[in-house]
Amino acid sequence: MGLLIQHGTVVTAERTFAADVLIEGSTIREVRAGIDAAQHTLVDARGMLLLPGGVDAHTHMDMPFGGTMSSDDFETGTRAAAIGGTTTIVDFAIQARGTKMRDALDMWWAKAEGKVCIDYGLHMIVTDLGSGNGKAGLDDMDSMVREGVASFKLFMAYPNALMADDATIFRALRQTANNGALVCMHAENGSVIDVLVQQALAEGKTAPIYHALTRPTTAEAEAVHRAIAMAEMAGAPVYIVHLSSEDALNEVREARDRGLPAFAETCPQYLLLSLEENMKGEGFEDAKFVFTPPLREKKNQPKLWDGLKHDHLQVVSTDHCPFCFADQKLLGIDDFSKIPNGGPGVENRMQLMHHYGVGAGKISLNRFVEITATAPARIFGMYPKKGTIAVGSDADIVVWDADAEHTISAATQAMRCDYSMFEGRTVKGNARQVYSRGEMIVERGKFLGKAGRGEYLRREARGGAWR
């Protein structure tokens, strides 16, 4: 006896078709029209879309930053993700300088233990490959791949904290060329930005808007160019996280046109929010929109949408890293450089991309599924277990009501944050039910699952499959 979802319209990255979906245990057993309903528990999905559970490949739960911690832990953050139709996240473990990567992996496993509500993987943030040839650190990278950590993140920003120099980045890229993993790059010229930040503060420019004005698009584009150049020299793929501007997009498009395995994601905030409309320089409320890279001028938005449509950008993630306005963002009230960087978003990604992407005719329904589920699952070593509706895949399924309206508000959101970046927007399209490995964990906005039910995903390094 299984669970049979009947009369729905299945949407994958490749096609849209009427079908029933039979779930047995945690796995999809059949996908076709007219499955015999005898002895199965039935779910009527008439008029509904059946989507693969969303995959958010960029979140920061329980993350230390700027003297505080992101306000969502693995319980509240993954519960919010599930309510919004996301059934898998990939979060980031952070290697502290002078420690082994295994220490960070154990720490993040402990953070998730007993809390995580959906399945999760971990990227490893590399801050230290040791001195000289960094052999010990490079061996650490290989051991992480054996633990299912198939991707590493390096920062070209935040000097004296997370930033890695070019030699460290190049050594890491060469190692992933051998072990098959993927380097994710936070691409901004941190050294130049630091000079601009210090100059602004010296001139008494302390308001939140100067966070954006000291991080120009050229600083992002230069770093993207340099990251791709180093990856090309190393013979390795590279993935640019949270790309925010046309200047940076041009660098990725040019590399892909040359046949290089360069990939990039963007986020809803860069597609829908702008410097002109959301950071007017009129007060500290602007701190709600302090994240990195910063908000850009609105003219960048159509270019990013076009990049998503034509596969110059492959993924939409959230960079979910919330800090409450009342007691965390205020740490930087007299100095924009001390405002914790980040915002809430994991709950609303699917709604926003459906409404402003599919609903507005900017992307197709199949492309919506690809950029929110299938592509991140493929790129980060989880496909076809995750990211699609197919026989043998995990039964991560969202029964999606394309006509349901939902108004986004901090007052009703599940994310543990006292504001929403999209406050008051009414979107069309929302999850009616959400299944994770065959278990219904959300129904009509109510979370029915249990903390700790999520499983750690040992992801596969893709090796020579990048080109």
Helix and strand totals (H; E) in the chain:
14, 19
Longest dimension (CA), the chain: 75
What per-residue confidence (pLDDT) applies to 463? 63
Question: Nearest 5 degrees, angle CA 440-CA 86-CA 339?
Answer: 135
- Residues 6 and 47: beta-carbon distance below 8 Å: no
Helix orientation angle between 166-179 and 135-146, rounded to the nearest 10 degrees: 40
Displacement of CA 198 from its chain's centroid (Å): 30
Token pair, residue 443, equals 């129904």
Q: Dihedrals φ, ψ of 372, to 5°? A: -100, -10
- Tokens read off for 302: 């159509």
* Number of Cβ atoms within 10 Å of the Cβ of 226: 17
CATH superfamily to which 54-383 belongs: Metal-dependent hydrolases (3.20.20.140)
CA angle 394, 91, 463 (to 5 degrees): 70
Q: Low-confidence residues of the chain, pLDDT below 70?
A: 131-136, 463-467
Summarize pLDDT for 249-298 with one digit per residue, the tens. 999 999 999 999 999 999 999 999 999 999 988 899 999 999 999 999 99
Nearest alpha carbon to residue 286 among 339, 241, 234, 322: 339
pLDDT at 132: 45
Domain ranges of the chain: 54-383
Residue 466: its pLDDT value, please?
53
